[in-house]
A and B are shown apart, each in its own frame.
Chain A
Amino acid sequence: MALSQSEVLAGLAEIVNDETGIAADAVALEKSFVDDLDIDSISMMTIVVNAEDKFGVKIPDEEVKNLITVGDAVDFIVGAQG
């Protein structure tokens, strides 16, 4: 069954926390990965791969650069779910 936006956000926040140590509740929809959360390109890719595993979706390399905010990533994952 497809996960809701809030469920994906919670799961993504957990992944971000594992990779960067950023508190899960700081990972909000409007936050920018680079400008607000200071996540670099390598950490971003680790988050992407772990999100693919967790949510069972494919996030192509060329899509990653469009994921500016946490909300962008959540929306992409919600939309990509079977």
Chain B
Amino acid sequence: MSHPQLNQYTAVQFSRIYGLGAARGDLIVSNDEVAGPIDSSDEWIRQRTGIIERRRASANLSLMDMAVDASQQAIAAAGIDPSEIGAVLFSTITHPHQTPSAAALLADKIGANPAPAFDISAACAGYCYGIAQADALVRSGMAKYVLVVGGEKLSDFIDPTDRTISFLLGDGAGAAIVGPSDTPGISPTVWGSDGSHWDAVGMSASLLELRDGTTAWPTLRQEGQTVFRWAVWEMAKVAKKALEVAGVEAEDLDALVTHQANIRIIDELAKQLKLPENVVVARDIVHTGNTSAASVPLAMHALLKSGEVKSGGLALQIGFGAGLAFGAQVVVMP
């Protein structure tokens, strides 16, 4: 049986990040404000986590507001028209509707309607998952430009008396535009998951338990030691693998941008990678807190804004968290 030959997408060779955007919660929340309910202190929190303050969003500032703000900045930085966006990927665990997606609403609000749009549920790995998918969509020719957003309003899902994670958390959104490039700008991604530790970090209960009245409002929890061991020693292997598949050495990097989980995870991970001193290690957590999917783009944006790392520099970015899920790639900073 004969039929006409099908058209397929025409691939492009390379992709890169064109521009970033960042929006943080409008409230600065000090350690003193969160220390009381967990019977702690400013000093204890600083010593254990590196956090001096975290940014949280007031009742009037929604997850969507922050995502729109960050996206519009990224679009402006990229110098494109929103109508050119061929896909919108929104990584979040705090969109308060099971369906429809946050991404579809975001696409409409920023002028990217009718771009395909969907959410990614990979928690703190979500932005790096998004960059991996954007890279694939662009290089395959399926989309010219892709908007990747990592955004969270974690303060809606915390328990002030929880000592495991709540006091670390902040709110914000980071956005990136990925598009075609004449030179390589995004390395292969090393990504994966380990559902054998599904319970190590996540929600305290399901929505069905809430419906049945057997739980209070579900909030975030973690098994700190299990997560710490995985986040440092397993992620060090992932980070080394990402450098290997990118074809670069640690000394070729300008920056290490990890998920901003806890300063001690960041410092121990940097130590395991034996980074030379000239590699800048992002420590945005100190004033922003842990913002899950938003933390990698917020931290990279901060490095560029402060001038600590210049546009064109090489960064290893790595996200890791609930799932457990992880993703890492080396990117040319926009």
Residue positions of A touching B, CB distance < 8 A: 40-42, 44-46, 48-49, 61, 64-65
- Tell me the interface secondary structure of chain A in the complex: helix
Chain B residues with a Cβ closer than 8 Å to the other chain, count: 12
Q: Is the CB of A61 within 8 A of B268?
A: no
Report chain A residues within 8 Å CB of B268.
46
Write out the residue numbers on chain A whose beta carbons fall within 8 Å of the beta carbon of B48: 40, 42
Q: Are A41 and B226 in contact (CB under 8 A)?
A: no
B residues touching A (Cβ–Cβ < 8 Å)? Answer: 48, 223-226, 228-229, 232-233, 262, 264, 268
Q: Assess the B226–A42 pair: CB atoms within 8 A.
A: no
Give the dominant DSSP class at B's interface: helix
Other-chain residue from A40, A49, A65 in contact with B229 (beta carbon distance below 8 A): A49
Q: Which residue of A lies closest to B224 (CB)?
A: A41
> B224's contact among A42, A48, A49, by CB below 8 Å, is which?
A42
B224 lies within 8 A of A61 (CB): no
Could you show 21 A-B contacts with beta carbons less than 8 Å apart? Answer: A41-B224, A41-B225, A41-B228, A42-B224, A42-B225, A42-B228, A42-B264, A44-B225, A45-B225, A45-B229, A46-B232, A46-B268, A48-B229, A49-B229, A49-B232, A49-B233, A61-B223, A61-B226, A61-B229, A64-B225, A65-B225
B225 and A61 contact, CB distance less than 8 A: yes
Q: Which of A41, A42, A46, A65 has the most chain B CB atoms inside 10 A of its CB?
A: A42
Pick from A40, A44, A61 the residue with the most CB of B within 10 Å.
A61
